[in-house]
Amino acid sequence: MLAIRGLGVQYGAVTAVREIDLDIREGEIVALLGANGAGKTTIARAIAGLLPFRGEISFRDQVLKPNSAEHNLRAGISLVPEGRGILARMTVEENLLMGIYCRTDRRAATADVGQMFERFPILKERRSRLASLLSGGEQQLLAIARACLSKPRLLLLDEPSLGLAPKMTDYVFSMIGNLRSEGLTIMLVEQKARQTLKFADRAYVLETGRMVISGTASELAGNAAVSEAFLGGGTKPPHHAN
C-alpha cells in the first residue's frame, strides 16, 4: 500500500533521516521504533506531505509529491501528529467538524460525526467544551477520532501514548487495535517498544536517521540484541523536546 525508497529529509544543513526504505501492506499495523531524535516524526511528516524530501514515496500506485499534505489526505493518508494537534481554541465538536472538512459527501460526513459521538460518549458529553480543557487522554481520543473522520486508508499515529497514564495508554492501544479490525492500515510511531511489539505485525527500528533493523514484531521482540540496544528505552539522552 505504501512504499518508501531512499527517503532522505534535511532540515537546513542537518540531515534528519537518510536512505530509508519502508513498506506497509494493506491491513497491517506497522511500528516505527527508535529513541528520541532518531527521525520517526520526520518520516511520518514526510509521508503525510508536510515536508520536502528526496527519494520516492508511493501510495497505492501513486507517487506522492513532497509537501503536498492536502493531496495526500485526499488520497487517503491521515496523520495524528506528535503532541496530538488538537485545535485548542475550538470546541470538541468543531475539532470533529474539521475532520470532515475534506469530505465531499457532506451528508454522510455529518452522520459520521454523530456516530463518533455515539462511539465515544465522553466526547459527546464534552462536545461544546474547548478542546484545550480536555485531559491528555481525551485529547488523544479526539485527535484519533478526528483523523478517522477523513476516512483514511492509512492512519499514521505519532506517539499516541506520549504523556498518557498507563491505563490510558492501554485504552488508546486497544482503540488502535479496533481500528485495524475495522480494516484500517496503521503506522504507529512509538518509543514504548515492548508494548507496541505486542500488537504490531511488523516493525522498523531507526537509529540516528537510519533504518537499522526491520522484521515481524515477534522476531524483533525475541531478538535479544534488539531489545538490548533499542527497546530498553531511556538509554539515549533526548536530542530535542517537542
Partner 1 sequence: MLLQQLVNGVTLGAVYTLLALSFSIVMGILGILNLAIAELFMIGGYLGFAVITAHLSLPVAVAAGMAGAAAISAVIEKIGYEPLRDAPLVTPMLSTLGFSIILQNIATNMWGSDPLQLPDEFLGGRIALGPVSIGELQLIVIGVTIVLVAVMAYIVQRTSMGRALRAVAENRDVARLLGVSGSRITLTAFMMSGALAGAAGVLIAIHYAAITPYVGVEIGLKAIAVMVIGGTSRIWGALLAGPLIGIAEVLTVAYGGSQIRDFVVYGFMIAILLFRPQGLLGGSGADQGQRV
82 binds Mg ion (CB under 5 A): yes
209 binds partner 1 (CB under 8 A): no
Q: Sheet containing 210-216: give its strands across.
A: 77-80, 154-158, 185-190, 29-34, 202-207, 210-216
Of 41, 139, 140, 169, which lies in the binding site for Mg ion, with binding defined by CB under 5 A?
A: 41
Q: Residue 97 binds what, of ligand ATP, Mg ion, partner 1, none (CB under 5 to 8 Å, by partner type)?
A: partner 1
DSSP one-letter code for 109? H
Q: What whole-number distance in Å separates Cα of residue 123 and Cα of residue 138?
A: 8
38 binds ligand ATP (CB under 6 A): yes
* 106-119 and 92-99 helices, crossing angle to 10°: 130
Residue with cell 472538512: 101
Element (H, E) at 178: helix 166-181
Q: What are 126's three cell numbers? A: 464534552
Shortest distance, position 15 Cβ to Mg ion, whole Å: 16
**187 and 44 Cβ atoms separated by less than 8 Å:** yes
Q: Among 37-45, 107-115, 131-139, 169-177, which window interacts with ligand ATP (CB under 6 A)?
A: 37-45
102 binds partner 1 (CB under 8 A): yes
Residues with Cβ within 8 Å of residue 107, at least 6 apart in sequence: none
Site string for ligand ATP, 39-78 (x = CB under 6 A): xxxx------------------------------------
**58 and 64 Cβ atoms separated by less than 8 Å:** yes
Of 34, 37, 39, 81, which lies in the binding site for partner 1, with binding defined by CB under 8 A?
A: 81
146 binds partner 1 (CB under 8 A): yes
- Give the footprint of ligand ATP on this chain (CB under 6 A): 11, 14, 16, 34, 36-42, 82, 191, 238-240
- Give the footprint of partner 1 on this chain (CB under 8 A): 48-50, 69-70, 73-74, 78-79, 81, 85, 87-90, 94, 97-99, 101-102, 146, 150
